[in-house]
Chains A and B, each alone.
Chain A
Amino acid sequence: MVETYLRLVGARLRGQLAYRTSFTIEVIAQAVVQAIELAAITILFSHVTELGGFSADEVILMYAIAATAFGLADLTAGQLNELPTYIRTGSFDVLLLRPLGTLPQVMVGDIRLKRIGRTLFGLGTMVYALAHNDIAWSPAKAALAAVAPLAGAVIFGSVWVVACAVCFWIVEGQELANTVTYGSNAFTSYPVTVYSGWLRRFMAFVVPGAFVAYYPALALLGRTDPLGGPALLGWVSPLVALAAAVVAGLVWRFAVRHYRGTGS
């Protein structure tokens, strides 16, 4: 079973590496997308010393965790953006006929390795941010630094699945889904203290965006939450990720059961 998926992914990757120049340009373009957000943060911090109560290096740490997590999620769950096309053209029916799960099939169906550009840029920035912040390192914190982007990727991936499942009901739902997926990436790049009201409640806790970068970064930095949350929150991202994945799986199953072909 796992072997089947590895073969599918392997075939895709070999295909994409065949055009080396085009591949290199696309990897760079993806890194630039991510770099522009960092440029924006740097430009803003050339005029202020703190944003939402956090220094430039602290915000860059949050941005870097979010960027790495989003890059990883984009690499796998990003394929879900093609779901409306699958549904409209009827090729989703083909996936249903195969003896493999529909969700993993969509995810590995057309993995775009070029998206590694985002992840690499995120990782590079994370190394910078971890070195430039005053972190009292311990084995637990080292583990947290490694696990946080992965847990974040699972959270982003789950958000992606739930958002795109909307496309089973609304054919033109892709832009709505993008609002939640790319929107949560933009949200998590800054401390949640910058936002307020229902926007913060929704993006930080309903979509568990605060657990991608904000709380893990607080734990790494050894800072207390200005919003009064317990210190424990910095360490629960993997559990939140697990819960998000379960919810996403259930939503996907419900959506697929509801699915009726377009009849074309």
Chain B
Amino acid sequence: MRAYAHLALAGFRRYSTYRQAMFGGLAANVVFGLLRTAVLVATVAAAPVAGYDVAAAVTYVWLGQGLLSFVVLWGETQLSERIRTGDVVVDLSRPWHLQAALLAEDLGRAAYAVVVRLVPPVAVGALLFPFRWPEPETWPLFAVSAVLGLVVSFGLRFMLNCTTFWLLDSRGVVNMYAVVSGLLCGLIVPLAFMPEWARDVLWATPFPYLLQAPIDVFLERDPQWTVLAWQAFWAVVVLAAGNLVLSRAVRKVVVQGG
């Protein structure tokens, strides 16, 4: 367990090294937040839509802009690259569980992302626009929900990366995920805005649970405990599935050497 704590700390340190890149990313977050706020506020200005008034819409946008870097909405290919080059053999022979080790590192990265990628956009949104702050008792629920969202996101990214064991080049799969995840997770438009059939389909998948769910908890939209329970369910499902995929993959790993 201590080893994993150290890994989490290493993840935190590693990402805190790239400060310049961080500022660039933050600037992009904020500019897109401003653009998205304008469009969404124009939509709900005359009358609330699906329970979103101006303050809720603003909160939805800026929380989304912050959370997308916290949960990592796009697909990263770090593990995929190590599988492609064969370096993964080293990772697999270490005295750890690979999935748990990567999760620990991702938690460390996310802890750093709270400070530099989640709080600043939310602060900008709250300073510039009417903002919907939750009741005090919602804060701990939101924290749990955000972490569960991160775990679901990690689980999906881990499985995407593991496809490299079979595909050898999973860039196509990862890129496709990056393309559609924004819509499926509720980043681009609130899921509540979608037609009923689309909502029913999407809420039966893990995607909304990594972004829309924490936002819903913050906005106190649905019974929060139900949302958290579903998030926990999906977190377990995607982690277990990833574990299964990994153990199947390990049985077929052929070390290519070189």
Contact = CB atoms under 8 A, between A and B. Distances in A.
A146 interface: no
B164 to A, nearest CB: 15
B32 A47 contact: no
A29 B176 contact: yes
Contacts, number: 87
* Number of chain A interface residues as a range: 20 to 34
Interface stretch (A89-97, A100-108, A170-178, A226-234): A170-178
B183 A36 contact: yes
Contact of B32 (A40, A44, A186): A186
B130 interface: no
A43 B194 CA distance: 6
Q: Bin chain B's interface residue count.
A: 20 to 34
Contacts of B176: 25, 29, 32
B182 A36 contact: yes
SS of A interface (majority)? helix
B31 A29 contact: no
29 contacts: A22-B172, A25-B172, A29-B172, A29-B179, A32-B176, A33-B179, A40-B188, A40-B189, A43-B193, A44-B40, A47-B43, A47-B49, A47-B50, A48-B46, A48-B49, A51-B39, A172-B21, A174-B24, A176-B27, A179-B31, A179-B32, A183-B31, A186-B32, A186-B36, A187-B35, A190-B38, A194-B38, A199-B34, A199-B38
Given A47-B49, A172-B24, A186-B36, 15 more contacts: A29-B172, A39-B183, A39-B188, A46-B193, A47-B50, A48-B43, A48-B46, A170-B20, A172-B20, A172-B21, A175-B24, A176-B24, A179-B24, A183-B35, A195-B38
Interface of A: 22, 25-26, 29, 32-33, 36, 39-40, 43-44, 46-48, 51-52, 170-176, 178-179, 183, 186-187, 190, 194-196, 199, 203
